[in-house]
Structures are given as structure tokens and as C-alpha cells.
Amino acid sequence: MSRALIVVDVQKDFCEGGSVPVGGGADRAAAIARLVRRSAGHRYAHVVATRDHHIDPGSHFSDHPDFQNSFPAHCVAGTEGSAFHPDFAPVVPEAVDEVFYKGAHSASKSGFEGAAEDGTSLADWLRARGVGKVDVVGIATDNCVKATALDGVRAGFAVHVLLDYTAGIAADSTDRAITELRRAGVVLSGEPVVLG
């Protein structure tokens, strides 16, 4: 079985200067771009990316967000904030095999809830290419990275989160996420950036 890299939500709105910034997000965007450039086609048979792509996600957008299930408006389809971070964007046409859009009409934290432009789910896309192992990186450790990793395990993949290539919203929620991931059987390595 081959291994794929899943890059989660490395978008402008989740990095410094965005509408829901995660401390260290921009630094991680640059680090992930370097990882993809040196590993695509070598360590990884495939590289995919997920994007928050909100149209009308209901209560996921809130004027009084709890920053767990509700957030200020972010990654609205067609806006500048929904674009990939400029340090990561150049590697997308170079080395990313597919982009999976999630959350048009829901919160949709997990990349496994997303679909490619042709409607193919992430799990189906990976299985069709013989992928059995996935490494997960991106933003945020304690939100969409966690949800993607947990859904990857549920879908039957061997999941490894590279914490050195993630950024967390807050220390306490990142610690809880790491504990939850370990209990689910996710392999973890490195340390996340947490500047919140």
C-alpha cells in the first residue's frame, strides 16, 4: 500500500492577517511547502490538499463564536481569504494531485467530508490509487487536522500526524487533541506550533 500526504486547510484566513488566524500558520505554510517539494513522488505517492469552501454553513458562522463549533466568517467561496496561503499556493500546481473542497453548507471540519470538483470523496480517491497510509499536516492541529486524522482512522487508513507541520489554536485544546488522536491509534511525531 502506498502513502499519501494530506495537507489540511493551508489558507489565508487561517494564517496571520486572516479572519480566523492561527498563530504560526504562515510559518507552517512555508514549512509544508518545503515538505511537499522534497517529498512528492518520493516519500509520498500522492499529495492532496483540503480547502474550507463555505457558501452558507449555517451556525458555523457566528457573531458570537465559541471557536470550537462556531467561528467568525472565514474561507467564503470566491474570497481572497479562501485562497491557499501564498507560501503554499505555488506548490499546488507543481505537486498537489487533487484538492478537496469542504463545508459549502456545513461546518465540515474533516477533509474526509470534502470532495474533489468531480464529486469524488477523499477516501474513495485515495483507495482508488492504492493508498493505505496517510500523513496529515496543516491548520489547525486542534480542529480540522484532528478531525481529518480521526476520520482517516475510521475510514481504515493508517494515519500519522506530523505535528512539526501543524499549528494549534490554543495549548489546552491542542493537548486534548493530541490525547484524543493517540487514543484513536494515530501515530504522532514532532511538536505543534502553538502561539495562541
Known catalytic residues are 9, 102, 144
Query: SS3 of 40, please?
Result: strand
In whole angstroms, what is the distance from residue 15 CA to residue 26 CA?
Answer: 5
Query: Do 90 and 33 touch, CB atoms closer than 8 A?
Result: yes
Partner residues linked to 162 by β-bridges: 189
- Bond into 140 cis (ω within 30): yes
CB-count exposure of residue 191 (10 Å: 0-12, 13-18, 19+): exposed
Quote the distance between the C-alpha of residue 94 and its chain's center.
Answer: 19
In whole angstroms, what is the distance from residue 150 CA to residue 147 CA?
Answer: 5
Contact partners, residue 127, CB within 8 Å, separation at least 6: none
Contact partners, residue 44, CB within 8 Å, separation at least 6: 3, 4, 5, 135
